[in-house]
Structure 1
Amino acid sequence: MIFFLMAIILIAAFIYYYLTRTFDYWKNRQITGPTPIPFFGNIQDIALFRATQAECLQKIYKNYEGEKYVGMFQLSTPTLLLLEPPIIKQILVKDFQHFTDRGHHYDGEREPLTANLVNLEGVKWRILRHKLTPTFSSGKIKNMMYLLHDCGKQLLQYLQETMESTNEIEIEMRDFTAKFTTDVIGSCAFGLNFNSMSPESSAFRQMGREVLQPSKIFAFSKLLRVFFPALFRTLKLRTFPKKVNDFFLNMVTETLKHRQKHNIRREDFLNMLTDLRESKDEMNPESDQDFEVEFTDNLIAAQAFVFFLAGFETSSTTLSFCLHELAINKEIQNDVFEEIKRTVEKYGPTLSYESLKDLILLEQCLLETMRKYPPVQALARICTKSYQLPETSTTIDKGTAVLIPVYALHHDEKYFANPEKFEPQRFSKKNINQRPFGVYLPFGDGPRICIGKRFALLEMKLALATFLFKYEIDVCSKTRHPLVLDPRAFILAPKDGIWLKINRRK
């Protein structure tokens, strides 16, 4: 019995040591921060699904006002949380060579779709980013406008059929906007009609739900993938369900074969990736001349998939949040409608790439929406080589995690007065120029800024302009305000959806 008790004590002591072995990391470097809890570190509320990442980091952010950064722990992983604009700029831009990677697990062999631009690291990321950047130029995006217009027509047709015998309906807006953005990505990325607006649920829409449907199992798997990648691999867990992986790989492979066989060319992302595979471009950075990225079907599928994943969910969520705010703030909605009306009278009902630039207030509404509800709650970086913190003798080691609390910065009264109020004028040129770098980061910044930023803004402006010109929105009995955030969601999202009433304009 004594031997058994001693064994239990020793095992418990070992487990406690293992879970707390890193907890003196920041103390040894004389960096202040919250006291960690064994196993959880400083993210207990996130791990137990009691709060979103945004809310958890905002609490730490507020408790250490005046500090440049604080040392915290994600489970047992030492993490530097950046709090002030100068150090944020230093990490994202000036000293980017020390923080090139995001630290996201990927496995190109077992899970081919994870080997995408968001996850890739080092030289492979640098070369792929260099090659893909021209595919998101203004000229290439302008060539896709006819595809966006077709999706806009499908959106209006869907509403006309849904509201055939009534002038108003109540709709859950996240699902509604997701149907539109799924069709946009299907057309512009894959060259296919996803038909998400049809009464029968689109296969592509189902795949989107499979990937991002909030659940505790998915959130737990994500924690293991980030903080215990070896265990994640040992248990043979998956980032995405196998049927999602197989669906997209087969779809891309079959589409590429069909286009090659019938000599089909289309102004979409898949065609641009095919062009990159067939080109002999050797414009690699000098230091990377001995390393080449082979555009296999799997690599092309991975890039098209992340375009689908990032494009449909973040854009649809932003659109639904924006519509929610416009329903609450009817005066702003009316001003937006008048701006759209003037633009249509000037350019005609089919809004061109150039005419969308005139929708300044509409764009400000989108920017303000992403300030109040940033899809990415925090930016993650990994120290890729030891780094001495500016104006100190303190060095952080390779492998140390870095977080930038986007949501907390966006809700800091120092930069955005009365942050819970929806005020599009925050994004007038004058106000933008007065704010420091690093306090508004919905797309990230620096060399790893979102490559699809320009496309996302264009897609959302066109969707809102098309919709609001024909319909107005209002609150209904199911509308929740303020919205409650879902701690299980992959990106910032509301619990129970966003319910609004849609009325035909007279």
Structure 2
Amino acid sequence: MYLLLIVIVLLSYLYWKSLKTFQHWSSRGVPGPKPYFLIGNLNEIFKGNQGQVHLALSKLYGKVYGFFLASSPVLVINDNKLIKQVLVKDFSYFVNRRELRTYHEMWNKNIFNSEDEHWRRMRTIASPAFTSGKLRSMQPIMKGCVDKLINYIDHVVLRKQDGIVNDTKEMFAGFTIDVFATTTFATETDANGERSRKNPFVYHGQNFFNVRIINALPTLFIPKWLLPKLGYRTIFDQTSFQWLIDFTTEIVRQRTRSQNKRNDLVQLLLDASGSGEQEDNYQKLTVEDENDSNIENVSKIDNNNLNDRLTENEVISNCFLMFAAGFETTATTLFHSIYELAANVEVQQKLYDEIVQLMNDDDDGDDYPQFNEHNIELITNKAPYLEGVIKETLRHHPPVTVIQRRLKNVSYRLTDTITLPPNQLIEVNAYAVHHMEEYWPEPERFKPERFHPSNRDQIHPYTWLPFGSGPRNCLGMRFALNEIKLCLAMLIIRYRFEMTTKTPMKLKYKVASPLLNTESFPIKIVQRTA
């Protein structure tokens, strides 16, 4: 009897509290879907992928609306002027992302999740590791990984499977694993060739992102202080998470003890300091106003400060982040690109013609033009149609759909009618912005020409956001783009990609995920004749 009474009182309290909470947006005149007791708008989130859900909500409520993630109010801003205001102009008010409710030092303290001065310090120290010169030195390593992918296609796909790859995503996952193993850890792998033995890089890299709803939901409803007592340290698969951490830790510690230096990201991060050359030119990295110089750069660090270098745990956590994040998003972009090339034959032909033209000067009579330092440089910097294909793929299928920022502990006037309370969480949904007809005419059409240099003035600033924007954009952006460009160029010169009877006409995305995880599909690969 007493237990029943306690339950009734507790539910009554929660109901009364939720009524007050759910007035958060209506009291501020912000539209949005109706929230429900305890779950808020989780019923909406589970209708599809978060990108598709928020595109539908934007059509119903406009570019600015509020919703509730359980009992947490979230403001969505899909208006490009407000996006610029939050991500760039008033960045000092919105330095941090969402506060994680779980804690693991190797995840919470990396450059993606760290906050305030800790983030500024790490960003400043790590930035020199990603300059154009450092990335250029890794291009031969990337080429070697593409050669392994080509070897797999030639000797497995074309000889044994009639040119049909049934799991396209897994094939590209093998490639990106090879790239990150060699460029980050100086560790040679052949993930596609070793697939029969379940290469641990491939297995744990893929499994890491298979976040089960049953593991994520408790972090929304259980008090934060109770989560560690119940064993919740991250929402990721614990076995794969720990394997990746242990592997990264061993590599970093071996390197610290060794006198021999390697040309990889581990070494670059170990050697990096705030006194290094800065190349955080955000104008180059995002589509924004030509004359907009109001971009807050990260502050430099005193060269004499002992904190001018990353600690061992910071190097480990950031190498782990780059491996875990870059593997999935790059593989996703590559197999989305191949899908679009197969579905749009004329686009594939134009891309092939451009790469052939770039390679003509280096044609030495072999069956296929050979890639060398000179033409790789041309491909990464002077192939506008290739760049357009990749940018249009990222517009159509942004791997990360949600960009989050959290207001500092102050009130903030966002618009003439909306004042935000301290610590308010704000989201920009990249997928929704990328599919708004006002910004992108015929948004469902695949048109690489949108990104041709002659059409730059037709692109609305802050409406292409696959890497975020502003000072907290993706540090590994150029690394990823170089990797994708080189891979596509080397493949398109050698193969033609075709749809099969089982290739879907419309891709299906994983429900409720902030990542654009697509169900894999078969693609037919045909070897080109010289």
Task: Provide the TM-score with structure 1 as the length reference.
Answer: 0.90
Q: Counterpart in 2 of 1:350?
A: 371
SS state at 2:524 partner: strand
Q: 1:61 aligns with which of 52, 58, 61?
A: 58
8 Å contact from structure 1 (residues 326, 332) kept in 2? yes
Q: Distance in 1 between matches of 2:258 and 2:75?
A: 53
8 Å contact from structure 2 (residues 50, 514) kept in 1? no
Q: Counterpart in 2 of 1:263?
A: 259
- Return the letter of the residue paired with 1:321: H
Q: Counterpart in 2 of 1:83?
A: 78
Q: 1:503 to 1:234 in 2, by over 3 A?
A: same
Q: Distance in 1 between matches of 2:18 and 2:229?
A: 20
- Offset of residue 167 of structure 1: 5.4
Q: 1:488 to 1:464 in 2, by over 3 A?
A: same
Q: Deviations over 1:96-115 (max 9, x none)?
A: 1111111142877x442442
8 Å contact from structure 1 (residues 179, 196) kept in 2? yes
- Written as runs of structure 1 = structure 2, the 5 A alignment for 1:123-272 is 123-162=117-156, 163-164=158-159, 168-199=163-194, 200-213=197-210, 215-220=212-217, 224=220, 229-239=224-234, 240-272=236-268
8 Å contact from structure 1 (residues 111, 238) kept in 2? no
Q: Deviations over 1:117-166 (max 9, x none)?
A: 11101110011011111111100000111111111111111112203356
Q: 1:14 to 1:379 in 2, by over 3 A?
A: same
Q: 2:310 aligns with which of 289, 295, 303?
A: 295
Q: 1:498 aligns with which of 516, 521, 525?
A: 521
CA RMSD of aligned residues (A): 2.7
- Offset of residue 363 of structure 1: 1.4
Q: Counterpart in 2 of 1:441?
A: 465
Q: 1:346 to 1:18 in 2, by over 3 A?
A: farther
Q: Counterpart in 1 of 2:321?
A: 306
- Return the letter of the residue paired with 2:15: Y
Q: 1:501 to 1:210 in 2, by over 3 A?
A: same
8 Å contact from structure 2 (residues 272, 309) kept in 1? no
8 Å contact from structure 1 (residues 113, 245) kept in 2? no
Bigger drift between 233-242 and 480-489 goes to 233-242
- Return the letter of the residue paired with 1:24: Q
SS state at 1:101 partner: coil
- Return the letter of the residue paired with 1:382: R
Residue 487 (structure 1) aligned with residue 482 (structure 2)? no
SS state at 2:446 partner: coil
Q: Deviations over 1:179-229 (max 9, x none)?
A: 1011111111111113212232211111112201253334436x539x954
- Return the letter of the residue paired with 1:34: P
Q: Counterpart in 1 of 2:36?
A: 37
8 Å contact from structure 1 (residues 374, 442) kept in 2? yes
Q: Distance in 1 between matches of 2:444 and 2:202?
A: 32
Q: Deviations over 1:441-495 (max 9, x none)?
A: 1110011111111111110011111111111111112211111211154510223
Bigger drift between 471-480 and 453-462 goes to 471-480
- Return the letter of the residue paired with 2:423: G
Q: 1:479 to 1:367 in 2, by over 3 A?
A: same
8 Å contact from structure 2 (residues 21, 71) kept in 1? yes
Where structure 1 has 5 or more consecutive residues not aligned to the other structure, the ranges are none
SS state at 1:35 partner: coil
SS state at 1:492 partner: coil
Task: Provide the TM-score with structure 2 as the length reference.
Answer: 0.86
- Return the letter of the residue paired with 1:452: G
- Offset of residue 396 of structure 1: 1.4
8 Å contact from structure 2 (residues 168, 522) kept in 1? yes
8 Å contact from structure 2 (residues 399, 466) kept in 1? yes
- Written as runs of structure 1 = structure 2, the 5 A alignment for 1:407-426 is 407-426=431-450
SS state at 1:116 partner: coil
Q: Distance in 2 between matches of 1:204 and 1:170?
A: 21
Q: Distance in 2 between matches of 1:198 and 1:75?
A: 45
Q: Distance in 2 between matches of 1:343 and 1:209?
A: 35
- Return the letter of the residue paired with 2:355: I
- Offset of residue 27 of structure 1: 2.6
Q: 1:320 aligns with which of 335, 344, 356?
A: 335
Q: 1:11 to 1:475 in 2, by over 3 A?
A: same
Q: Distance in 2 between matches of 1:10 and 1:261?
A: 60
SS state at 1:88 partner: helix
Q: Deviations over 1:363-418 (max 9, x none)?
A: 11111111111111121111113243245264312221101121111111111111
Q: Distance in 2 between matches of 1:439 and 1:263?
A: 47
Aligned length in residues: 496
Q: Deviations over 1:240-269 (max 9, x none)?
A: 344334433433343344445552222211
Q: Counterpart in 2 of 1:120?
A: 114
8 Å contact from structure 2 (residues 397, 431) kept in 1? yes
